[in-house]
Structures are given as C-alpha cells and as structure tokens.
Structure 1
Amino acid sequence: MTDRDTRHKKAMQKRKEVVDAKVAEAQEERGITIVITGNGKGKTTSAWGTVARSLGYGYKVAVTQFIKGTWDCGERDVFAQDQNLTVHVMGTGFTWETQDRELDTRACREAWDKTLPHLKDPDIHLVVLDEITYMMKYGYLSVDEVLEALRNRPVNQSVILTGRGANKDIQAYADTVSEVKDTKHAFNDGIKARKGIDW
C-alpha cells in the first residue's frame, strides 16, 4: 500500500467515525419541512425528485403547483397515472401574464383551500407547495396562515416549499433550507427554454 493509499484510508476512517456518530445521534423520528429557495434553476425539479423518491417507496404524495401550474410539466406527466399522487394546479399560471391581482388571489385561495386537507391527512407522506413563496410575497396568502398549517400538520408528514425569496420566518421554521444559486443561466444569454430540460 502506498503512502497516499494509507493517508486516504485513515482519512476515510475518520470520516466514517464522524458520519456514524451523527447517525447514532439522530434519534428523533418525524416529518420535516424543507425550503428550496434562491434565484437559481432547479428548485421545482429538486422537489419533484423527492416526489419520485416517495412514490418509489409507495408513499402517498400531494403536490400543489402555484405560478407555473398551467404550463406543461414533464415531471407531473410522468407520474400522472400513479394512484398515490394527487396534484392541484393553480388555474391562472404566471402572475405577470394575468396582471390581475384579484384573479390571482382568488386562484391562490382556491388552490390553498384544496391543499389544506392534505396538510391534515396523516396518510400523506409528502406535501409539495411548489412556488408558494410568491403567494406569500405578493400577499395572496399570509405567512402566519402557512406557518399555522405547517405547525399543525401530522407529525410524520414532510413538506417541501419552493420558490425564490422564501420568507425569513418560513426559513426559520424549516428543518432544512437549501438555496439554489444563480451562477449562470442559458436563458439570460438569449437561449430559448427547452422542453424536457427547462420544463
């Protein structure tokens, strides 16, 4: 064994000790709240990846899509026949297309009202609130209302909230917060969004 191999083995042994200790330390078992925010691409895609994971294990999942709901969604389509998946789509799509606050608020309320029963159902393993950050930012939903629903959900239910500019109180409540950084985006260089890649 070379010196490099020996050093690598020792480093990996130390790393294993750290990981094993963290695994042994994590004794609390419950659902978690995840926030995926930031200006970068991939927040919704990440959430759908977790949907795939949950469905793969046979768990029930509920997804509410705000903002982008009326667009084609390859991820939604691929799971459409899975009886463990329920999807609600906000009827108005992008708010900058409608330019109608009253219409968007009403559509948001309708989507939220359909979502609330899922946030009370202990049989639903995962609830995804896709692009909900905008609903709070624009005042269609109050932060307190969303926090109350999150706090009162079944103990073993996990929730993912996505969208740019996640509210600080929502982030403080969440168990896991990931920020997707916008280092570079093809669209900003005039490259058209591509079906199967961008949506």
Structure 2
Amino acid sequence: MTDRDTRHKKAMQKRKELVDAKIAQATEERGIVIVITGNGKGKTTSGWGTVARSLGYGYKVGVTQFIKGTWECGEREVFKENPNLTVHIMGTGFTWETQDRAVDTAACRAVWEKTLPMLQDPNIHLVLLDELTYMLKFGYLEIDEVLNALKNRPIDQSVIITGRNAHRDLLEYADTVSEVQDTKHAFNSGIKARRGIDW
C-alpha cells in the first residue's frame, strides 16, 4: 500500500466515525420543511425530484404550482396518471404576463384554499409548494397564515417550498434551506429554454 493509499484510508476512517456519530445523534423522527431558494436554475426540478422519490415508495404526495402552472411541465406529465399524486395549479401563469394584481391575488387565494386540506391530511407524506415564495413577496399570501399552516400540519408530513427571495421568517422556520446560485445560465447568453431540459 502506498503512502497516498494509507493517508486515504485513515481519512476515510475518520470521516466514517464523524458520519456514524451524526447518525447516532439523529433520533427525532418527524416530517421536515425544506426551502429551496436562490437565483439559480433547478429549484423546481429539485422539488419534483423529491416528489418522484416519495411516489417511488408508494407515498401520497400533494403539489401546488403557484407560478408556472399554465406552462407544460414534463415532471407533472410523467406522474399525471399516478393515483398517489394530487396537483393544484394557480392557473394564471407568470405574474409579469397577467400584470393584474387583483386577478393574481384571487387566483392565489383560490389555489391556497385547495392546498390547505393537503397540509392537514395525515395520509399525505409530502407537499410541494412550488414558487410559493413569490406569493409572499407580492403580498398575495401573508407569512403568518403560511407559517400557521406549516406549524399545524401532521407531524410526519414534509413540505418543500421553492422560489427566489424566500421570506426571512420562512428561512428561520425551515429545517433545511438550500440556496441555488447562478454561476452561468444559458438563457442569459441568449439561448432559448428547451423543452425537456428547462421545462
């Protein structure tokens, strides 16, 4: 065994000890709130990836899409026949397309009312609130009512919230926060979004 191999083995043994210690300390069992925010690409994709994971284990999943609902959605298409998936769509599309705050607020409130029963259903393992952060930023929903729904959900239910500029109180409440940042984005270089890649 070379010196490099010996050093590698020692380093991996030390890492295993650290990982094993963390696993031993993680004794609480409950659902979690995950926020995926930031300006980079992949927040919705990540959320749907976890939807796929839960459905793969036979769990029930609820999804509400607040912004991109009128677009084609390849992820939604692949799962649309799955009886364990419930999807609600705000249905007005991008807010910069409607340019009508009253219409957008009414659409948001309507889909939020459909979302609340999912957040109260102990049979739903995971709820994805895709692009919810914009609803808070634009004032269509109040942070207190969102936090109240999250705090009163079934103990074993997990929730994923995606979108840019997540509210600071939401970040504080969440169990896991991931920030996706742009290093480069093809769209900023004039390359069109592609079906099957970007949506």
TM-score (normalised: structure 2): 0.99
Aligned to 2:83: 83
- 1:129 partner letter: L
User: Which residue of 2 is the match for residue 43 of structure 1?
Assistant: 43
Map of 1:11-160 to 2, 5 A cutoff?
Answer: 11-160=11-160
Q: Which amino acid aligns with 2:91?
A: G
| Separation in 2, partners of 1:43, 1:163 | 7
CA drift of 1:183 comes to 1.1
Please list the CA deviations of residues 155-190 of structure 1 after superposition, one character each: whole Å capped at 9, or x if unmatched: 000000000000000000000000000111000000
Letter in 2 for 1:63: V
Deviations 1:10-43 (A, max 9, x none): 0000000000000000000000000000000000
Deviation at 1:72, TM superposition (A): 0.2
Residue aligning to 1:170? 170
Q: Calculate the TM-score normalised by the size of structure 1.
A: 0.99
Deviations along 1:34-76, one digit per CA (max 9) or x if unpaired, are 0000000000000000000000000000000001111000000
CA distance in 2, matches of 1:114, 1:56: 24
Matches of 1:56 and 1:104 in 2, distance apart?
34
Q: Which amino acid aligns with 2:51?
A: V
Corresponding residue pairs, total: 199
CA distance in structure 1 between the partners assigned to 2:2 and 2:188 by the alignment: 48
Task: Give 3-state SS (helix, strand or coil) of 2:146's partner.
Answer: helix
Q: CA deviation at 1:91?
A: 1.4
Please give the secondary structure, in 2, of the residue aligned with 1:141. Answer: coil
SS class of match (1:20): helix
Task: Find the residue that maps to 2:69 and give its secondary structure.
Answer: coil
Please give the alpha-carbon distance, in whole angstroms, between the structure 1 residues aligned to 2:179 and 2:106: 29
Q: Deviations over 1:115-171 (max 9, x none)?
A: 000000000000000000000000000000100000000000000000000000000
**Partner Cα distance (1:136, 1:143) in 2:** 6
Unaligned residue ranges in structure 1 (runs of 5+): none
Distance in 1 between the 2:7 and 2:197 partners?
41
- Separation in 2, partners of 1:52, 1:127: 12
Structure 2 distance, partners of 1:132, 1:182, is: 20
**Aligned equivalents of 2:22 and 2:91: distance in 1?**
44
**Distance of 2:91 and 2:41 partners within structure 1:** 23
Root-mean-square deviation over aligned CA pairs = 0.4
Distance in 2 separating the partners of 1:10 and 1:161: 40
Alpha-carbon distance between aligned partners in 2 of 1:5 and 1:79, rounded to the nearest angstrom: 46
